[in-house]
Structure 1
Amino acid sequence: MAGVFTGFATISVLIALGALLAQLRVLDERGQRTVSTVAFYVASPALLITVMDDSDLGFVLSGNLVAVASGVLVAATLVATVETLRRRGLGNTVVAVLCGSYANAGNLGLPIAAYVLGDPVLVAPTLLLQMLVLQPLALMLLDVDASTTRLSFWAVVRRPLTNPITVASAIGVALSVSDVDLPEVVLAPLELVAGMAVPSMLIAYGVALRLGPLPGRGVPALDLAAVVATKQVVQPVAAYLVGRFVLGLDAEALLAVTVLSALPTAQNVFVVAQRYDRATLLARDVIFVSTLATVPAILLVVLLLT
C-alpha cells in the first residue's frame, strides 16, 4: 500500500511546485503554455517511445486488456451520450470523454502496479490501449474540430500521422514488435527528454491551479461530479463485472483491472485540453477531484477484493 501513497505524494509535490512558481511569478500563463507545449510536442512522444519499446505486446492481448477496454468503453459512451445530448460541441465532448475514461496509468499506475499489485507490467494493457486507440482517436477528432476548413476524408485519415503523440506510439510499437534495440547514442538522449514529460505536465497543472479559478468554481458542480463519478465508479465497476462474469479472470487479474480502472484522470488530458482550448477548466477540475478520490477508492477496491 506504500506505493499508493508514494505515487500520490510525488504528484502532490510537483503540482505544489508549479503553484509556487506561479505564486512567485516565475511562470505566468504564457510560461505555462510553453511548458505544456514542450510536454505535448517533445517530452510525451519521447516517453511513449521508451515505454512501448519495453512493453510485451503479447501480454497486452489478454483478458486483462478486454476487461480494461470494457470499462473504458462504458465510461466513454456514457459521457459522450450526455455531452452530445447537451450539444456541447465535438471538441468539448472529446475532452469530457477523456476526463471520464482516460486513466493516469503512467506516473500513478506504474508505482501502484509495482507496489500494490506486485508487477509493473500489469499496467501495460491500460497504457497501450490509451496510447494506441483512445488518445490517437481523440486527437484526430480534436484536429477535425479545430480545423477552420472542411476536411476531406483523406485529410481526416492523415491527421493522426502529423500528430507527435500518435507518431511516437507507432514508432514504439514498431520497435517492440521488431525487437530492434535503439543504439545508445539515440536511446540515452531520448530517455533524458522522456524524463521531462511527467514533471512538466504536473508543473503546468500546478500553475493552472494557482492562476485559474479554484477547483469546483470553474465548472458547474453537477457536471464535475458526474464526470468524476463516471471515472471513479462506473469505469472500475464495468471492468470488474466484465472481468469476473464474462471473462472469468482469476482473483489476481481481477484485482489488477479493477484497481487500474479506478485510477484518476491523467494529467496529460489537461495538456491536450489546453492545446486545443476545449473544456480546459473541466479537465483541470476533474483531474484534481479524481486524484483526491483515488486513494479511498483504491483502498476500498483492495479491501473488497483481497
Structure 2
Amino acid sequence: MTGVLAGFATIAVIIGFGMLLAHAGIVDDAGQRTLSAVAFFLASPALLFTVLQDNDVGRVFSGNLVAIVGGVVVTGAVTITVAVARREELGRSVIATMCSSYCNAGNLGLPIAAYALGDAALIAPVLLLQLLVLQPLALTVLDVAASPERPSLGRVLSRPLTNPITVASATGLAVALSGVEVPGAVNDPLALVGAMAVPAMLLAYGVSLRLGPLPGRGVPPGELALATGLKLLVQPAAAYAVGLLVGLDDAALLAVAVISALPTAQNVFVLAGRYGRAELLARDAIFVSTLGCVPVVIGIVAVLA
C-alpha cells in the first residue's frame, strides 16, 4: 500500500512544480505547448521504444488481457453511445472515450503493479494494448477529424505509420519479438531522452492547471462525472466481471481490477492539446480521476487482496 501512495505523491509533486513555474511566470502558455510538443514528438516515442523492447510479449496474450479489454469495451461503448446521442464532434468524442478508458499504465501503473500487486510485469498487457491498439486507433481518428478534407482509405490506413508514437511502439515490439539487442550507442541516448517524457507531460499539465480555468469550471459537470465515473467505477467492475467469466484466479482478478481502476493517463491531455480537442475535459478528467483513484484502489485492495 505504501507503493500506491508513493506513486500518487510523486505525480502530485511534479504537477505542483509545473503550477509553480506558471505562477512565477517562468513558463507561459507557449512554454506549456512546447513541453507538450517535446513530449509528443521526441520524449514519448523514445520512452515507448525503450520500454517495449524489453517486454515479455507473451504476457499480453493471457486471460488478464481479455478481462482488461472487456473493461475498455464497456466504458468505450457507453461513452461513444452518449457522444452519438449528443451529436458531439468526432475529435471531442475520441478524447472523451480516452478519458473514460485509457489508463495511466506507465508512470503510475508500474509502481502500483510492483508494490501493491507484487509484479511489475502485470502492467504489460494493458500497456501494450494501449500503445499498440488503442492509441494508434485514436490517433488515426483524430488525424481524420483534423483533416480539412475527407481523406482516402489509403491515407487513413497509412496515417499511423507517420505518427512518431505509433512508429516507436511498433519498432520496440519488433525488437522484443526478434530478440535483437540494441547497441548501447543507440539505446542509451534514447533512454536518456525518454526519461523526460513523463516529467514533461506532468509539468505541462501543472502549467495548464495554473493558467487555465480551475478544474470543474471549464467542463459541464455531467460530462466530467460521466468520464470519471466510467473510468474509476465501471471499468474495474466490468474487467472483474469478465475475469470471472474467463476463470481468472483471485490474484489475477485483483490485478485486473486495480489496473483498470488506474486514472486517466497524462498523455491523453498531450493528445488533446496536440489536436486542439476537448483539452479542458482531458485536463479535468485526469485531475479528478487521479484524486479519486486513491480511495478506489485502496478499497479494491482491501476487499479483494
Band the TM-score falls in, shorter-chain normalisation: over 0.9
Shift of 1:64: 0.5
After TM superposition, list the pairs within 5 Å mapping 1:228-239 onto structure 2: 228-239=228-239
Shift of 1:149: 1.5
**Distance between the aligned counterparts of 2:181 and 2:149, measured in 1?**
42
**Distance between the aligned counterparts of 2:87 and 2:54, measured in 1?**
41
Tell me what 1:30 maps to.
Answer: 30
**Distance between the aligned counterparts of 2:7 and 2:151, measured in 1?**
42
State yes or no: 1:166 paired with 2:166.
yes
Q: Give identity over the alignment, percent.
A: 62
Tell me what 1:135 maps to.
Answer: 135
**Distance between the aligned counterparts of 1:48 and 1:71, measured in 2?**
23
State yes or no: 1:208 paired with 2:208.
yes
Tell me what 2:270 maps to.
Answer: 271
Q: Could you tell me which amino acid in structure 2 is paired with residue 85 of structure 1?
A: A
Q: Give the TM-score taking structure 1 as reference length.
A: 0.99
- Cα distance per residue 1:161-200 (max 9 Å; x no partner): 1001110111011000001110000010010011010000
**Distance between the aligned counterparts of 1:90 and 1:84, measured in 2?**
9
Tell me what 2:42 maps to.
Answer: 42
State yes or no: 1:305 paired with 2:291.
no
| Unpaired stretches in structure 1, ≥5 consecutive residues | none
Q: Could you tell me which amino acid in structure 1 is paired with residue 63 of structure 2?
A: G
- Cα distance per residue 1:129-161 (max 9 Å; x no partner): 000110000000000000011200001001111
| Unpaired stretches in structure 2, ≥5 consecutive residues | none
Q: Could you tell me which amino acid in structure 2 is paired with residue 26 of structure 1?
A: I
Runs of 4+ in 1 over 6 A off after TM superposition: none
Shift of 1:236: 0.3
Shift of 1:62: 0.4
State yes or no: 1:258 paired with 2:263.
no
Q: Could you tell me which amino acid in structure 2 is paired with residue 4 of structure 1?
A: V
Tell me what 1:195 maps to.
Answer: 195
Tell me what 1:74 maps to.
Answer: 74
Tell me what 1:109 maps to.
Answer: 109
Tell me what 1:96 maps to.
Answer: 96
State yes or no: 1:65 paired with 2:65.
yes
Tell me what 1:180 maps to.
Answer: 180
- Cα distance per residue 1:187-223 (max 9 Å; x no partner): 1001001101000000000000000000000101111
- How many corresponding residue pairs? 305
**Distance between the aligned counterparts of 2:90 and 2:220, measured in 1?**
19
**Distance between the aligned counterparts of 1:74 and 1:226, measured in 2?**
13
- Cα distance per residue 1:240-278 (max 9 Å; x no partner): 00001x111011111000000000000000000000000
**Distance between the aligned counterparts of 2:39 and 2:3, measured in 1?**
25
Question: Is the partner of 2:226 in helix, strand or coil?
Answer: helix
Question: Is the partner of 1:222 in helix, strand or coil?
Answer: helix
